[in-house]
Amino acid sequence: MILPSATLGILGGGQLGRMFAVAARSMGYRVMVLDPDPESPAGALADIHLCADYRDHAALERMGRACAAVTIEFENVPAGSLEFLAQFCPVRPGAAAVAIVQNRRDEKTFLQSHGFVTAPFATVENSGDLAAAFHSIGVPALLKTARNGYDGKGQARINSFAELESAFERLGAVPCVLEAWLALETEISVVVARRTDGQTAAFPVAENRHADGILDISIVPASVTEEMAGKALETASAIAAALDYCGVLAVEFFVLGDGRMVVNEIAPRPHNSGHYTLNACLTSQFEQQVRALADVPLGAPDLLRPVAMVNLLGDLWRNGQEPPWAPVLSQPRAKLHLYGKQSARPGRKMGHFNVLAESADAALKVALELRGGLAAEVSTG
């Protein structure tokens, strides 16, 4: 076990790294962040911020020699950098697991090969594959870039072959997957932590609502059957085991109108839909990430009270002005978390707040009232 006073490293300096740093320092660890942004939100709270590119071998070696172990805060850190870093200290999760989830084709192939159900899909490596993929999947469908897609980016809905050809060019003619469009009842997710010895702890299922491809609200407990929730928890834990994963992993699921559940995507890190754990669970997803990285026993993921989490995007910042936080701060069961980002823009995740209540419906009601009040103040301000 790696005990407090040791230095833990994280590749990536956004809000997830920032919240990891808070958890780690609260537990008595030192934190080193490697991120090329001099205004990195995580770097501002770290003991040491290495302002360098993720492929900078000198910086990686410095980190590896200074840290007892290193983790990641986003999935697109080059797998080669993780392999290089692993020469000097443990890297959790490892390069092999991260490489699989960096590519939608590899991820879906891995899932299906291990018996996990996904939406039907076909691989598109170049324009010569478009016709076969179209005839295999049909329409409606979604064309998604194999790499670097998130928050609704890097994808397009397809209703005809002409739209498929146009979308492929618009997405840069890079390798893609064509995925069948499914009729959804709801979307849910599970955040699970796993240690090197296989100890696993899964957080309660979150029900997620999106706006313009970006997570808007998460509600816990999710309004799914106990059987469905149990299956989601079991599946997320089984995926972590199949990947031989160490760290915090999020699994997104589609619940279909006919009651089936399919795996949508995997994220090899804490997840936006797990931010509710900061206030509503005995252990947060970020403390769990620290524990898994340090290879100490995982904390209990128990839900202490129903909760609704609301994302705060840069759209709420107008003319460089902070939104009026007084209503949120005046609600005794609301907890505001801001990420320390220096500039706001539409769609950028700037913070979130959690509302705790006696029931999920009551938490959601207050959360929507607070969010509506913020939006109204901004629009009239």
Q: Distance between CA 49 and CA 34 in Å, rounded?
A: 6
- Structural domains in the chain (count): 3
Residue 319 has a pLDDT of 76
Residues 336 and 278 reside in one and the same domain:
yes
Check if the beta carbon of residue 164 is closer than 8 Å to that of residue 178: yes
Residue 147 has a pLDDT of 87
- pTM of the predicted structure, to 2 decimals: 0.95
Q: Is residue 102 one of the residues assigned to a domain?
A: no
Q: Is residue 104 one of the residues assigned to a domain?
A: no
Residues 53 and 201 reside in one and the same domain:
no
Check if the beta carbon of residue 346 is closer than 8 Å to that of residue 317: no
Residues 22 and 154 reside in one and the same domain:
no
Q: Distance between CA 184 and CA 76 in Å, rounded?
A: 28
Residue 379 has a pLDDT of 59
CATH number at residue 338: 3.30.470.20
Task: Name beta bridge partners: 370.
Answer: none
Cis peptide before 93 (omega within 30 of 0): yes
- Among candidate residues 130, 149, 180, the one where a domain is terminated: 180
For residue 217, what is the enclosing H or E element? strand 214-220
Backbone angles phi, psi at 368, to 5 degrees: -65, -35
Q: Is residue 373 one of the residues assigned to a domain?
A: yes
Backbone angles phi, psi at 95, to 5 degrees: -60, -35
Q: Please state the length of the chain.
A: 381
Residues 155 and 248 reside in one and the same domain:
no
The boundaries of the domain holding residue 14 are 7-91
Residues 269 and 175 reside in one and the same domain:
no
Q: Is residue 361 one of the residues assigned to a domain?
A: yes
CATH number at residue 63: 3.40.50.20
Residues 81 and 139 reside in one and the same domain:
no
Residue 213 has a pLDDT of 84
Q: Distance between CA 301 and CA 295 in Å, rounded?
A: 17
Residues 81 and 134 reside in one and the same domain:
no
- Among candidate residues 40, 71, 91, the one where a domain is terminated: 91
Contacts made by residues 167-170, CB under 8 angstroms, sequence distance 24+: 167/143, 168/124, 168/127, 168/130, 168/143
pLDDT, tens digit only, all 381 positions of the chain: 999 999 999 999 999 999 999 999 999 999 999 999 999 999 999 999 999 999 999 999 999 999 999 999 998 899 999 999 999 999 999 999 999 999 999 999 999 999 999 999 999 999 999 999 999 999 999 999 998 766 567 889 999 999 999 999 999 999 999 999 998 999 999 999 999 999 999 999 999 999 988 999 999 999 999 999 999 999 999 999 999 999 999 999 999 988 899 999 999 999 999 999 999 999 999 999 999 999 999 999 999 999 999 999 999 998 778 899 999 999 999 999 999 998 999 999 999 999 999 999 999 999 999 999 897 765 555
Q: Is residue 106 one of the residues assigned to a domain?
A: no
Measured between alpha carbons, how far is residue 369 from residues 106, 321, 333, 349 in Å? Answer: 42, 21, 13, 20
Residues 158 and 82 reside in one and the same domain:
no
Residues 159 and 193 reside in one and the same domain:
no
Residues 129 and 206 reside in one and the same domain:
no
Residues 250 and 336 reside in one and the same domain:
yes
Residue 304 has a pLDDT of 98
Measured between alpha carbons, how far is residue 84 from residues 18, 65, 78, 102, 192 in Å? Answer: 24, 12, 10, 17, 27
**Tokens (6 digits) for 6:** 């040791």
Q: Is 128 helix (H, G, I), strand (E, B) or coil?
A: helix
Closest CA to 220 of 359, 114, 353, 83: 359
Residues 255 and 145 reside in one and the same domain:
no
